[in-house]
Amino acid sequence: MVIDQIRTVDRKRIAKQLGRISDKEIVKVKDVLKETFVN
């Protein structure tokens, strides 16, 4: 994933394209988002 290139996408479209990600991967994405937007 390229987190610094965020855009709006329908959730259904994401699920069709990517399937599901693990809780561990979600935590990693959230950490990167926090680092990108909080600092």
Each residue's pLDDT expressed in tens, for the chain with a length of 39 residues = 566 666 776 777 666 666 678 899 889 988 988 888 886
Domain boundaries, the chain: 1-39
Phi and psi, residue 10, nearest 5°: -60, 135
Our CA dihedral for 39, 24, 17, 11, rounded to 10 degrees, sits at -60
To the question of pTM greater than 0.85 for the whole model, the response is no
1, two tokens: 């994933």
Do residues 32 and 3 lie in contact, with contact meaning Cβ atoms separated by under 8 Å?
yes
